[in-house]
Structure 1
Amino acid sequence: MIFNDDGTLEYTLTRSKRAKHVRLKVTRSKGLEIVVPETFKTKWLPSILEKRTDWIRNAARRLDLPERIEELPPLVPEQIVLPSMGYEYSIQSVPAVTISEKLVDAEKIIRTTTGLLSIETQRAVLLPDVVAESEKVELLRCWLVRCGKEYLPELLEDVSIEVGIPYKKVQIRLQKGRWGSCSSRGTISLNARLMLLPTELLRYILLHELAHVRHPNHSNAYWRYLESLDSKALEYDVSMRDAWKYIPRCFSM
């Protein structure tokens, strides 16, 4: 999704007042994004990209991204699987009147802060067909957070009781850079994208954050404790480095 047929790079250039250095990011939703200071001269860019070509290719591979733009999957997928729930949802773009007619039977009614409306019904998420792709993505993200808030706290409570580690409270949102976190006061924050991971990796993250209630850092003692909770903890931790391959583009960071 980054390299054109002639070998040139597709990228988004962002100038930032806060940036002090050139920063390259590869994400599933935006491809290659280059953040530069406001005073940066674009004539400097070719030499930088030439030096970082191998890094860009490797970053794309780690995210399971195709190199060619034409091979990129659609931003809004045809289906979404939530493995831990055992559910598969079809994603359908339909006329707004269809959504209105099915409101009474909807399992979930999703509204964005701007007033966009979609519903979940009979293992399908219905999106209005007249809105832009970016707005459909916003609706799907709201839907995923809703699913996370309904399911993840209950699952965390079950695992908490199982291993005997209490916590204060749990928050669910689309975190920008973490799968989860645990505050010094015992508040666990979970990324709604966990709903898209295989069951064993989701459970690992729950244990990972619960272990931080006992050990607030990643010391050797922490890892020993985590391994006492799950003998495959280190193996799962390595697997999490490539976990973004399970995340559809619409939910990417």
Structure 2
Amino acid sequence: MAREGRVRGAVRVVELGGRPVPYHLRRRRRMRNLVMRVDGDGLRVTAPYGVSLAWIEAALQERAAWIVKRLAAMAERVTFRPDWRPGARLPYLGTSLSLTLETRSRLWPVERVGEQLIVSDPRSDDPAVVEAMVMDWYRDEAHRYLSERVAALAPRLGVPIPPLALSSSRSEWGSCSAWGRILFNWRLIQLPPRLVDYVVAHELAHLIELNHSSAFWQLVERLYPDWREARRALRRYG
């Protein structure tokens, strides 16, 4: 499920909707059509070799309304940039936890207690240490929670519980390989449970239909009937 990483190619500027819009232009051999994409890196355009810049920008003008709307939507997406100080709000399953720091050692160095996430370490005055500890906790929680949801939903499709692992992908919430291994983005643990279930349903359906055909979406609907709304809501998060 797509959420793309590095940007290559020249950066140019075109006026769309009365304002300058920078875009990344990349050319590829054997391409026949112009491809436009708006993501966290802005507007990206991939074009065939041989077409003129004027032709490319005329095509962008034709899609100006769509491009401007998508850029505005991207600007409103939820971002995760805590300052790692006491009281920082950390997203967790659609709610948020208040970061509490303690310099004494405890049995569990990172522990969720009610609406608090308590980090206990003599070095907790160092933001880098706190960040590393919280990130480890997030990944552990993600693996635990996703394993539970996969175990709950997989039997409803009649598929065996697949092996799963975590990723830090910038481009996908989840993926399923042809040999039945599922990768989930650890950031799912920050999202509301209903969106997590949608992603889990999506990847489990790929164990049967490794495509996005109508048969695939029927499988998703068996597990998550309101998948259309969830897919729209997921776009807020990248």
TM-score range, shorter chain: 0.5 to 0.7
| 1:211 to 1:152, Cα distance in 2 relative to 1, 3 A | same
Q: How far apart, CA to CA, are the structure 2 residues paired with 1:241 and 1:170?
A: 23
Does the Cα contact within 8 Å between 1:145 and 1:173 map onto a contact in 2? no
| 1:59 to 1:130, Cα distance in 2 relative to 1, 3 A | same
Q: Number of paired residues? A: 183
Whose helix proportion is higher, 1 or 2?
Answer: 1
| 1:239 to 1:124, Cα distance in 2 relative to 1, 3 A | closer
Q: Which amino acid in 2 is paired with 1:120? A: E
1:32-56 deviations in whole A, cap 9, x for unaligned?
Answer: 7899xxxxxxxxxxxxxxx999565
Q: Residue 181 of structure 1: SS of its match in structure 2?
A: strand
Which residue does the alignment assign to 2:74? 59
Which residue does the alignment assign to 1:130? 125
- Identity over the aligned pairs, expressed in percent? 22
Does the Cα contact within 8 Å between 1:167 and 1:186 map onto a contact in 2? no
Q: How many Å apart are 1:187 and its aligned residue?
A: 0.6
List alignment gaps of at least 5 residues for structure 1. Answer: 1-15, 36-50, 66-71, 110-118, 245-253
TM-score (norm 1): 0.58
Q: How far apart, CA to CA, are the structure 2 residues paired with 1:195 and 1:177?
A: 16
Q: How far apart, CA to CA, are the structure 1 residues paired with 2:119 and 2:160?
A: 38
- Which of 97, 103, 106 is 2:106 aligned to? 103
Q: Residue 171 of structure 2: SS of its match in structure 1?
A: coil
| 1:131 to 1:193, Cα distance in 2 relative to 1, 3 A | same
State the superposition RMSD in angstroms.
3.7
Which residue does the alignment assign to 1:218? 212
Q: How far apart, CA to CA, are the structure 2 residues paired with 1:209 and 1:189?
A: 9
Q: How far apart, CA to CA, are the structure 1 residues paired with 2:91 and 2:235?
A: 20
| 1:228 to 1:57, Cα distance in 2 relative to 1, 3 A | closer
* Matching of residues 61-210 of structure 1 within 5 Å: 61=76, 63-64=77-78, 74-76=82-84, 78-83=88-93, 89-94=97-102, 98=103, 101-104=104-107, 106=108, 109=109, 119-120=110-111, 122=113, 123-126=116-119, 128-132=123-127, 136-210=130-204
* Matching of residues 8-47 of structure 1 within 5 Å: 19-22=8-11
Q: How many Å apart are 1:135 and its aligned residue?
A: 5.0
Q: How many Å apart are 1:204 and its aligned residue?
A: 0.9
Deviating 4+ runs (over 4 angstroms): 23-27, 32-35, 51-58
Q: How many Å apart are 1:201 and its aligned residue?
A: 1.0
